[in-house]
Structure 1
Amino acid sequence: MFMGEYNHTIAAKGRLIVPSRFREQLGDEFVITKGLDNCLFVYDNSEWTALEEKLRSLPLTNAAGRKFARFLLGSAATCEVDRQGRILLPSVLREFAGIEKDAVLVGVGSRIEIWNRDKWAQANTFDDMEEIAEHMEGLGI
């Protein structure tokens, strides 16, 4: 399970250091794609395979399913970690998430999210956690 928050800087050529704790769990190769809330999602190969299978099982006649599959699969890229523990973030993904210099990597269970640092701060103030916690009760948490 991925957890924790790490701040890193994107190098001039679009390289990002992946924290060692995340690298240990991800392995040498993994998938990165567009995510919800204008961040990027990172999946290890087993989680990605499970997600692909779920997307494949959606009926072709379901317009929302087709659009969601295009969103996730169309932008997906396989990444490999170099000797310095970095990955090359594809420019299309950096542009989507607005990541130019400062990034935040956040472990959220089965995936990692990569955020533009300013967007992370704006979107995740957690001021409304009491209200959200009440809604989680209905989901069994």
Structure 2
Amino acid sequence: MWYINFRQWGDCMFMGEYQHNIDTKGRLIIPAKFREHMMAGFVITRGLDDCLFGYPMAEWEKLEQKLKQLPLTKRDNRAFTRFFFSGATEVDLDKSGRINIPNNLLSFAKIEKECVILGVSNRIEIWDQAKWQSYYEDSTESFADLAENMFDSNIDF
């Protein structure tokens, strides 16, 4: 039987796929299961693959410490940290369980209305729905190859 041992990475906070709409003011309803992890503060920033990444404050602080360790003498390190941190913004949940995503981040991820919120262990990802569907379909074909390559990384399934 195959299983993923998440305990080696710590507790799995976010998982699942949820479809929601962004309203005309840039507000997005956060799935109820995710909200408890956002109460102490939450940061949204530019992610990879044209999506947004969202981190609870404790996870963001861990990531920030790791990125501070990167040598500034390397051009790629400077470029990545500039891009990543300059897009970051702290967001709060309103009484209706929504966050307000700034226009610059919505533009970056090309999110206009329909979106998908993914739980990905210690972060959430927010995707334009059509972009996610395309990415998902492309990745489904190579999922077995991805899993095989993870064995090389000593990931225990």
TM over 0.5: yes
Q: What's the counterpart of residue 64 of structure 1?
A: 76
Q: Counterpart of 1:31 in 2: which secondary structure?
A: strand
The equivalent position to 1:37 in structure 2, one of 37, 49, 55, is 49
Q: More displaced, 102-111 or 20-29?
A: 20-29
The equivalent position to 1:127 in structure 2, one of 116, 137, 141, is 141
CA distance, structure 1, for counterparts of residue 56 and residue 86 of structure 2: 17
Q: What's the counterpart of residue 105 of structure 1?
A: 117
Q: What's the counterpart of residue 138 of structure 1?
A: 152
Q: What's the counterpart of residue 10 of structure 2?
A: none
CA distance, structure 2, for counterparts of residue 70 and residue 116 of structure 1: 24
Q: Write the deviation string for residues 58-103 of structure 1: whole angstroms up to 9, x where unpaired.
A: 1110111111101110100000000010011100000000000001
* Root-mean-square deviation over aligned CA pairs: 0.9
Alignment of 1:63-102 (within 5 A): 63-102=75-114
Answer whether contact 1:33 1:40 (CA < 8 A) is retained: yes
Residue type of the alignment partner of 1:133: A
Q: Tell me by how many angstroms 1:56 deviates.
A: 1.2
Q: Does 2:39 correspond to 1:23?
A: no
Q: Which runs of 4+ in 1 moved over 6 A?
A: none
Aligned residues: 141
Q: Counterpart of 2:104 in 1: which secondary structure?
A: helix
Question: How many percent identity over aligned positions?
Answer: 48
Residue type of the alignment partner of 1:68: F
After TM superposition, the score normalised by the length of structure 1 is 0.97
The equivalent position to 2:59 in structure 1, one of 47, 66, 73, is 47
Residue type of the alignment partner of 1:65: N
After TM superposition, the score normalised by the length of structure 2 is 0.87
CA distance, structure 2, for counterparts of residue 130 and residue 59 of structure 1: 35
Q: More displaced, 114-123 or 53-62?
A: 53-62
The equivalent position to 1:4 in structure 2, one of 6, 9, 16, is 16
CA distance, structure 1, for counterparts of residue 154 and residue 40 of structure 2: 35
